[in-house]
Amino acid sequence: MRLESNNLLIMTNSSVDDSDSFASLVILWQLRHGRHDLPWQNTRDAYRVWLSEIMLQQTQVRTVRPYYARFLDRFPDMQALAVAPLTSVLELWSGLGYYARARHLHHCAQTLVHNHAGRFPENLEEIAQLPGIGRSTAAAITVFAFGKRAAILDGNVKRVLVRCFAIEGQPSSARLERQLWELAESLLPDHDIESYSQGMMDLGATICTSRRPSCDLCPLHAICLARRHNRQAELPPPRQGKTLPQQRRQVLLLTDGRQVLLERRPPLGIWGGLLTLPEGVADDASHFAQRHGSELLSLGEVCTVRHDFSHFRLMIDILPCTVRVLGQAAGEDGWQWLACEQIANAALPTPIRKILFSHLSPPDQRMLNAK
């Protein structure tokens, strides 16, 4: 059978003998050479499958491993996550980035507890309607938790398909993505769906990498059109570089050397629900200090740090402010004096944590620096 769309001619696995089919090659390779020791494998627990899939979105396995372990230790099941305050969830997520994932994770757990007795529905379409879960993540839960046939199409899988079938165009485009979904579904085997799905992701992550793919180790090398025509570096095409728009923020770092004044952001936005340094200029420093039970002693030199997001560049101007805390708590909800030794575990955006570590040395870090 052949699939033809917009002059794209794709030969599916039913066009060759089953023993040599695309899916069979992937399955056999995964069983022999794929990854089998990831902490979220070898389980039918939909909660663990879901958690790993959300954490792995735009994040590498080696980064996710420790977060996954700490998260499960704190929230071992759906009920524990659903009843936890969002601030606790954000604290454990801090440093993993893309914080909307954590907020959606928490909302999804609450939705499942309230509407589905804490269990995932087994229907792909129902899963895809849950907060923070798209088509590919829903398919992964369907495959690995329930053993049902569904197509996964993450970035790694897209790259394997684009190269193997020499598909032209940018995979992120709506037109090409529709074609890739059609292709991915046409290639699904009738058996060993878990090994096939894991194999496709493993190939993209470890063999068919974006740079320097290990084509000689790939089970698809004999049928890969990109390899046949030496086009691995061209497919998929690199995204056109673009100049990131720039934003600038001025923040105040009010500290007595032992603690620092922080403000919790509103629940929505890039840093929604996280603790950050208050925005303001030098003229605001004395007011902030007095409002939160401290006295401004001196101002330091402004320094600037840069942090690049996926869609804009943020320049942060930091004004260090030395204060004397008068023993009173921060005067308003959403504000707090954070002890320096708590910086590592607080719900802080990565650039704010780096700023604090560069300006403040928690007691244990001072000891390390002294050695």
The structural domains of the chain, with segments of one domain joined by +, span 2-228, 246-370
**Superfamily in which the 246-370 domain is placed by CATH:** Nucleoside Triphosphate Pyrophosphohydrolase (3.90.79.10)
Q: What is the reported pTM? A: 0.86
CA–CA dist 357, 343 (Å, integer): 8
For residue 236, what are its two tokens? 């998929």
SS3 304: strand
CATH 3.30.450.20 fits domain 2-228: no
Distance (Å, whole) CA 233 – CA 227: 10
Per-residue pLDDT of the chain (371 residues; tens, 9 = 90+): 334 333 344 444 333 344 348 999 999 999 999 999 999 999 999 999 999 999 999 999 999 999 999 999 999 999 999 999 999 999 999 989 899 999 999 999 999 999 999 999 999 999 999 999 999 999 999 999 999 999 999 999 999 999 999 999 999 899 999 999 999 999 999 999 999 999 999 999 999 999 999 999 999 999 999 999 999 999 999 887 678 899 999 999 999 999 999 999 998 888 999 999 999 999 999 999 999 999 999 999 999 999 998 889 999 999 999 999 987 666 567 899 999 999 999 999 999 999 999 998 654 443 333 33
Residue type present at position 287: H
Judge whether 201 and 154 are in contact, CB under 8 Å: yes
Instruction: Name residues whose C-beta falls within 8 Å of residue 44's C-beta, 6 or more positions apart in sequence.
Output: 144, 145, 146, 147
> What does the pLDDT read at residue 365?
45
Cα–Cα dist 17/35, whole Å:
27
**Would you say the CATH fold of 246-370 matches that of 2-228?**
no
Output the pLDDT for position 332. Answer: 67
Burial 235-253 (b: 16+ CB within 10 A, else e): bbeeeeeeeeeeeeebbbb
Measured between alpha carbons, how far is residue 142 from residues 53, 57, 98 in Å? 12, 17, 24
Catalytic residue numbers read: 53
pLDDT of residue 146: 98
The enclosing H or E element of 62 equals helix 61-74
Secondary structure element (H or E) that encloses residue 321, with its range: strand 313-325
